[in-house]
Amino acid sequence: MVASFGFDLESKCRHSWARVGELHTPHGKVPTPVFAPVGTQATVKTTSPQELEELGVSLVVANTYHLNLRPGPEVIARLGGLHSFMGWQRPILTDSGGFQVFSMEHLRKIDGDGVTFRSHVDGSEHRLTPERSIAVQEQLGADIIVALDVCPPYRSDYEHNRVVLQRTHLWAERCLKAHTRTDQMLFGVVQGGTYPDLRGESARYLTSLDLPGYAIGGLSVGEPKETMHHMLDVTIPLLPEDKPRHLLGVGSPEDLFEGVARGIDIFDCALPTRIARNGTFFTSEGRLNIRNSRYKDDPAPVEEGCSCYACQQFSRAYLRHLVMAKEILGLRLATLHNLHFILNLMREIRTAILEDRFPTLKEQFLSSYKVVDDEVRMRDRKIWLNKLRASKEVAGD
């Protein structure tokens, strides 16, 4: 396959850092700003590739750690690579396994050379170094791959952040040196915790490596949203304007608006599909928990005017019945609705930037959208991580 990469900046908002572009890959174009659903195990849970195409998905994210464990990159490579393996011929991004370094503290040990994991599947030991992460991602054959990094926990002290930041930078150099495929874009990951000077140092250092793109990691890990915004304000002006910028692991509607306003091009997150499996639906007014008894005999759709299949065909009462009865269809319909909502929102944002009315759209949306407050959000995240660890699983979707 002939390499075909590039990032074209098409338009910028006059009143913010918001911008519209187009990312070119060997498997097609990705209009930005874009939201990429997470398909940890080479599948976006409960959905088919055909449904993703019908929803207008242009980029999906798969997980290097999980696919390295099962079925193994050698198996996927023999079967034609990840695109062929999962029946998805549009662009794919694979992460590095770096988030599992953060989320699997109970199953891993970090040293200067890499990370040793104990498998959550069978307890076997595995070694992940920058070179191994790149080798796995090259075997998988994604269009965009990510350098292995270390994500420090929120509230970790300055000295710890400084030490792991140096490790992240050294690992980025090793990843760049190990990368051999010319049909993949390698993104470096900006870290630095919640310390502005470290964030700035990381952005400047990674920019000096002249990578094809830059991801921003270590945010939305428990810090207040205002802190995340401040870290983006510090970081983004230091990144090249002509390279794509990816905010890792962020996908709530309010965060999409705030990220776009600061110049982010790519978002990915398991949130829309994860909350769907708990019976929670996105609406223009906030999240709707279909388990609430008030919806037991509600004939209305989840959201009036929504063109998704779930809203066009079914009532809140029926959807609640499916979720309460633990029917798989309920999870599928909630997932399809949430993905439709987020993807449609991103299309509206893109159009608004092109028409120079993004600030108005942002103000209108956020004025009626009820955001989950930080205390509840951090509590729910802690519960989620604890459940994953108790079940011997790892953070993913």
Nearest C-alpha neighbor of 125 from the set 151, 146, 104: 104
Q: Read off φ and ψ for residue 82, nearest 5 degrees.
A: -65, -40
* Catalytic-residue membership of 183: no
* Tokens representing residue 7 in the block: 């990032």
Nearest C-alpha neighbor of 39 from the set 90, 78, 84, 93: 93
Of 210, 268, 298, 373, which residue is the catalytic one?
268
**In the chain, which ranges are continuous DSSP H helix?**
49-55, 64-69, 73-78, 82-86, 98-103, 130-140, 158-178, 196-208, 225-235, 253-261, 271-276, 309-313, 316-324, 328-354, 358-368, 374-390
From the CB of residue 228, how many other CB atoms can be counted at a distance below 10 Å? 21
CB 39 within 8 Å of CB 86:
yes
* Catalytic-residue membership of 111: no
**What's the number of CA atoms in the CB half-sphere (13 Å) around residue 195?**
20
Q: Indicate the residue type of 359.
A: P
Cα–Cα distance between 128 and 126 in angstroms, integer? 7
Of 95, 143, 149, 255, which residue is the catalytic one?
95
SS3 328: helix
Parallel, antiparallel or unpaired: strands 115-118 and 125-128: antiparallel
User: How large is the angle between the packed helices 316-324 and 328-354, nearest 10 degrees?
Assistant: 130
Residue 117 pairs in a beta bridge with 108, 126
Biggest CA-to-CA distance, the chain = 60
CB 95 within 8 Å of CB 136:
no
Which residue has tokens 């401040």?
A: 230
* Tokens representing residue 138 in the block: 């090259």
Q: Which residues are catalytic?
A: 95, 268
